[in-house]
């Protein structure tokens, strides 16, 4: 998003000059649902049991959920809430703010900015920046286990400092009108009892934060890499479901290991307010095609794979024509049609040819020709 369109949140109708080519494209193919745009996007309702508007979200993933990735995902689901990668307060305050915060106002809403940090003043300042840039939510990362961020008191280590987190979230929500949310684990290291988790949420809720996104496994801060920390500690969905029972007035979103929508629906049926899907949405993006119908009772966005392909090709042509190198787009699309006949050839062709800075958009179309889509369902029935 360009600085001239910095306005308060929800001004989705403002397109700056470099976004104008997309306006017609999106009015034709894809318009951010105005029914949602006209609703206040706040989740910080004081009304107990207020309906949580974001039943389905795509997780923040560093280096993966870039702006281009989110724009691609938005072509697959109009409704899911999309999260940015984590950006630290230090990077925003001392680095290139515009580069970190720029996003496509035409294409990405609703979109949440995830912040990494612990200092209440800095976080409040960055929340203000997020609001000025037009984000729909600001989320604090209290789940990342990496050594590097731990040393800066960022991420999962914050779970050991509930009052600090509560004060920081309060400072953020005092500063802005946006919903302020938190994403955390069910515990860290030996602080892994349900009582610890419940006390953490209870203390943080005193800040006024009403949305807790809970990755249903603990983080082990010494000895496991971030990648291992996403697989090794066992998932415990029941702890997250219990949180919802103990805090019925809060919005509890569950995350971790959700690979199909049967499980997602099952978790929603057990009481949580939303599901957040990470790796599966990225690696098998066609999953997102089901979201609007299954979770929001909206129409399927496309009737046929051909209709989807036409939109993707148009989008890639527009983006490349306006200066985005093909690889910035296509690297997030390698999992498209994964499991269907021809998907490996599609992936190979793209990954071998997309890298030159001047790579033409036709490469994507040529790669798509390898796929023999059978439809959007029954993906596992085909092997190459």
Q: DSSP states of 32-77 as a string?
A: --HHHHTS------SSTTPPPS-SEEEPP-TTTS-HHHHHHHHTT-
Distances (CA, A) of 210 to 12, 43, 82: 25, 7, 18
User: φ and ψ at 351, to 5 degrees?
Assistant: -70, -25
Closest by Cα among 331, 194, 369, 137 to 202? 194
Distance in Å from the first CA to the final CA of the chain: 41
Give me the least distance between CB of 5 and ligand FMN, in Å please.
25
Q: Is 56 in the site for ligand FMN (CB under 6 A)?
A: no
- Give the Cα separation of 103 and 257 in Å (integer): 28
Q: Is 64 in the site for ligand FMN (CB under 6 A)?
A: yes
Q: Is 335 in the site for ligand FMN (CB under 6 A)?
A: no
- Radius of gyration in angstroms for the set of CA atoms belonging to the chain, rounded to a whole number: 20
Q: Is 60 in the site for ligand FMN (CB under 6 A)?
A: yes
Residue nearest to ligand FMN (CB): 278
Considering only residues 34 to 53 of the shown chain, the ones binding ligand FMN according to CB under 6 A are none
Q: Going residue by residue from 113 to 152, which x/- string records binding to ligand FMN, judged by CB under 6 A? A: -x--------------------------x-xx--------
User: Is 256 annotated in some ligand binding site?
Assistant: yes
Give the residue with the Cβ less far from ligand FMN, 123 or 258.
258
8 Å CB contact between 250 and 212? yes
Give the residue with the Cβ less far from ligand FMN, 225 or 322.
225
DSSP 86: E
User: Is 114 annotated in some ligand binding site?
Assistant: yes
Report the run of H or E that residue 305 belongs to, with start and end.
helix 305-321
User: Is 61 annotated in some ligand binding site?
Assistant: yes
User: Is 8 annotated in some ligand binding site?
Assistant: no
Q: Going residue by residue from 255 to 294, which x/- string records binding to ligand FMN, judged by CB under 6 A? A: xxxx------------------xxxx--------------
Q: What own/partner pairs with CB < 8 Å and gap ≥ 24 does 19-23 have?
A: 19/104, 19/105, 19/106, 21/318, 21/321, 21/322, 22/104, 22/106, 22/107, 22/318, 23/106
For the CA atoms of 11, 178, 144, 116, the dihedral, rounded to the nearest 10 degrees, stands at 80
Which of residues 1, 36, 41, 59 is near ligand FMN by CB under 6 A?
59
Catalytic residues: 144
Q: Is 230 in the site for ligand FMN (CB under 6 A)?
A: yes
Q: Going residue by residue from 167 to 206, which x/- string records binding to ligand FMN, judged by CB under 6 A? A: ----------------x-----------------------
Q: Which residues are annotated as a binding site for FMN?
A: 60-62, 114, 183, 215, 255-257, 278-279
Residue ranges that bind ligand FMN, judged by CB under 6 A: 59-62, 64, 85-86, 114, 141, 143-144, 183, 215, 230, 255-258, 277-280
């Amino acid at each position: 998003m360009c600085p001239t369109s910095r306005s308060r949140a929800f001004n989705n109708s403002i397109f700056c000059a470099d976004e104008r080519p997309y306006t017609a494209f999106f009015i034709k193919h894809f318009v951010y649902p105005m029914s949602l745009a006209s609703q206040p996007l706040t989740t910080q309702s004081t009304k107990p049991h207020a309906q949580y508007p974001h039943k389905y979200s795509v997780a923040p993933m560093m280096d993966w959920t870039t702006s281009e990735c989110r724009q691609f995902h938005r072509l697959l689901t109009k409704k899911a809430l999309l999260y940015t990668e984590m950006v630290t307060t230090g990077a925003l305050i001392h680095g290139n703010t515009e580069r970190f915060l720029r996003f496509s106002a035409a294409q990405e809403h609703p979109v949440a900015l995830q912040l990494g940090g612990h200092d209440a003043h800095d976080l409040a300042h960055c929340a203000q920046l997020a609001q000025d840039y037009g984000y729909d939510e600001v989320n604090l990362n209290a789940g990342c286990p990496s050594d590097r961020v731990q040393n800066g008191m960022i991420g999962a280590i914050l779970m050991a400092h509930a009052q600090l987190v509560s004060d920081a979230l309060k400072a953020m929500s005092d500063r802005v009108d946006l919903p302020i949310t938190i994403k955390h684990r069910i515990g860290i290291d030996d602080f892994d009892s349900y009582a610890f988790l419940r006390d953490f949420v209870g203390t943080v809720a005193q800040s006024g934060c009403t949305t807790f996104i809970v990755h249903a496994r603990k983080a082990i801060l010494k000895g496991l890499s971030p990648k291992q920390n996403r697989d090794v500690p066992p998932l415990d969905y029941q702890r997250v479901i219990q949180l919802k029972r103990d805090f019925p007035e809060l919005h509890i979103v569950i995350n971790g290991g959700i690979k199909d929508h049967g499980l997602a629906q099952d978790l929603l049926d057990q009481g949580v307010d939303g599901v957040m899907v990470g790796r599966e949405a990225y690696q098998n993006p066609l999953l997102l095609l089901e979201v609007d119908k299954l979770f929001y009772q909206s129409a399927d966005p496309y009737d046929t794979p051909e209709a989807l392909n036409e939109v993707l090709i148009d989008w890639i042509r527009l983006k490349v024509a306006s200066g985005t190198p093909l690889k910035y787009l296509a690297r997030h699309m390698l999992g498209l049609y994964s499991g269907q006949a021809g998907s490996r050839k599609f992936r190979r062709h793209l990954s071998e040819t997309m890298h030159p800075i001047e790579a033409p958009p036709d490469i994507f179309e040529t790669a798509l020709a390898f796929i023999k889509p059978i439809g959007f369902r029954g993906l596992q029935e085909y092997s190459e």
